Amino acid sequence: MRPAAVVKNLGALALAGLFLFPVYWMFSSAFKPSGEILAKDPVFFFTPTLENFTKATGVEFFWTYVGNSLLVTVGAVLLALLVALAASFAIARMRFAGRKGLVLGVMMAQMAPWEVMVIAMYMIARDAEMLNSLGLLTAIYFVMVLPFTIWTLRGFIAAVPVTLEEAAQIDGCTRGQAFRKVIFPLLAPGLMSTSLFGFITAWNEFAMVLILNKDKAAQTLPLWLTQFQTAFGNDWGATMAASSLFAVPVLVIFVFLQRKAVGGMTAGAVKG
Amino acid sequence: MTVHSQGAATAPQDAPREPGGPKAPQPPQRPAGAPEAAPAPRGRRGALPSGWLPYLLVAPAVLSMAALLLYPLAKNVILSFQKVDKIEFIQRRAPFHGVENYTQLLGDAQFWTVVLRSFLFTAANVALIMVVGSLIGLLLNRLGTWMRLVLSMALVMAWAMPIVASVTVFQWLFDEQFGVMNWLMRTLGFSGYEQHNWFETGLSTLVIVTVLVVWGSVPFVALNMYAGLTTVGGELYEAARMDGANGWQTFWQVVFPNLKPFFLVTTFLEVIWVFKAFTQVYAMNRGGPDRASETLPVFAFVEGQSQGHYALAAAISVLTIVMLVVVMSFYFRLILKQEEEQ
């Protein structure tokens, strides 16, 4: 290899290490025995133990948090896909009065600063007696990911040539059938990437659930993660075990879908 | 998406194709005699006599956004003109208060400190994210297949880390007693890192938040930049090389013009995400010590939740939104201008 290539590859390796280190440190600390977690000099070699995981998952309501998180996340994403599919089809394929205003509205909504609206949201929920409601939380997450979902699917639908749809209609399909049989299968990468990002947004959400759902039975995993950090000190082993468990679903989905999703994005963008 | 949250990742590649159109009441001026521009050719070609069907299709989206986004937003604006502290809050009263909350804020030095801090924080983060992200994107483009795979997998892992989890990891890395950072500094021979408290000042806390935000946001920019670079034809580089351009010139004269929409939209998205980043700042140190690492969203949250100044917090959030809209209009104008140039 030429010297320039060596520098390039070493640089890339160093960068990869830098980006991976926090992820590695989270997983490795999660398996560390408590004695070694609290060593003055970090321990890099140790006999792995599951004690931190036992502690993290042994807290009261653990399975409730898991269930709640799955429920609100999956619920919000599915609802958003359904509603966005209809809306983005109309925006991409039809002309109607107010269409431009709607597109602008969707763009603006994508920038909504949800976290600064928590107090108003709290008051609305309180007056409607919907505090500690998983339904409301699902609905909020659904609207959080909706603009992005509409925006992205609109791009994917627009990238499907209209002639394909027309050909199907000439062959005797109704408009609905043409959509189901021609467009829908071509939207798979779009549906995947939008649900991926919707999943991450809802899975991560912290401020709303912190304010709206004080009742532990209605809380989600992000709040569980912060439970091991108290005024009396931090249980870092349990925190890292909890963080690892929390990150695993996202990491797995991401690694599996990322290539397809990114490939889809690029294809969609290039087709113009 | 809150950031990095969080991320609206496909939007940047998509957005430039609906360039400011919806914002513009009139189409961009064309020279006389130029062929008339079709603002949205792809949509228009598929236009069908639609009647009530489109309204039926968009109704669920519009109604749900109105109920869960517009209504709280309106409630928030109304609240900012009321007087709601702890007592009123418990009694569920909300007397009208005029512009009192706003005058109080605008005359408060602390508010302006937070505004300045927010802008500096956003500027520093976005600059770092864009520069580092673009450089890594360029590097990815020049690596061999295997090295590229290794680096992009590392980037994907960092990108996919849930924010709350990555905040806890960074707290642990920078822990006063048992953190890796203090150990590293000691090992490298720096003194004073026996029990160095990285969260001692607001500035040092925000520096750590910056490291976290940049670490988590760079992958998005780098991977998208790489995807964009693959669409720039190799013959363009070749031509630039033949003309004797060096790396720097090639970047400014070939890569940058071709990827201008990418830079425009990504920078804009990062500004939005960093400016309204809440979880990273709040969960790191609760805006502390002594409220010295609060940015606008955290300031609003702490005023409302911890201090019980609910209406004042609403006013802060309205001002935050106004600032966002100002940034946004700047962006729309840029996009519009670019469209006219083409």
Could you read off the pLDDT of B270-296 as tens digits, one per residue? 888 899 899 899 989 888 898 999 999
User: Is it the case that residue A180 has pLDDT exceeding 80?
Assistant: yes
Cβ–Cβ below 8 Å for B301 and A266: no
Task: Name the more confident of A159 and A132.
Answer: A132
Task: Name the more confident of B154 and A179.
Answer: B154
Could you read off the pLDDT of B195-232 as tens digits, one per residue? 889 998 999 999 999 999 999 999 989 988 888 888 77
B111-341 to CATH, choices 3.40.50.360, 1.10.3720.10, 3.50.50.60, 2.40.10.10: 1.10.3720.10
Per-residue model confidence (pLDDT) at position B204? 93
User: Is it the case that residue B27 has pLDDT exceeding 50?
Assistant: no
Residue of A nearest to B227 (CA): A266
How far apart CA B40 and CA B163 sit, in angstroms, is: 37
Cβ–Cβ below 8 Å for A102 and B157: no
Alpha helices in chain A, H assignment, sequence order? 3-30, 34-37, 51-57, 62-93, 99-109, 118-127, 134-159, 162-170, 175-178, 184-186, 188-204, 207-212, 221-225, 236-271
Domain boundaries, chain B: 111-341
Task: Kindly state the percentage of chain B with pLDDT values over 70.
Answer: 82
Q: How confident is the model at residue B159 (pLDDT cuts 50, 70, 90)?
A: confident
Q: Of A139, A132, A96, A103, which Cα lies nearest the Cα of B49?
A: A96
β-partners of residue B96 are B82
Cβ–Cβ below 8 Å for B165 and A243: yes
Give exposure, B29-39, as e/b (b: 16+ Cβ within 10 Å). Answer: eeeeeeeeeeb
Cβ–Cβ below 8 Å for A100 and B157: no
Could you read off the pLDDT of A203-247 as tens digits, one per residue? 989 989 999 999 999 999 999 988 888 777 788 899 999 999 998
CA A150 to chain centre: 16
Average pLDDT over residues A34-53: 83
Residue in A200, A208, A228, A246 to test binding to B, most B beta-carbons within 10 Å = A200
Q: Of A117, A138, A143, A144, which Cα lies nearest the Cα of A213?
A: A138
User: How far off is chain B from A164, nearest CA to CA, in Å?
Assistant: 11
Cβ–Cβ below 8 Å for A265 and B162: no
How far apart CA B14 and CA B4 sit, in angstroms, is: 18
User: Is it the case that residue B137 has pLDDT exceeding 90?
Assistant: yes
Q: What is the dihedral of CA A271, B4, B6, B12, to 10 degrees?
A: -20
**Could you report the predicted ipTM of this complex, rounded to two decimals?**
0.85
Task: Kindly state the percentage of chain A with pLDDT values over 70.
Answer: 94
How far apart CA B313 and CA B86 sit, in angstroms, is: 12
Residue in B85, B161, B327 to test binding to A, most A beta-carbons within 10 Å = B161
The dihedral through the CA atoms of B159, B164, B170, B172 has a sign that is: negative
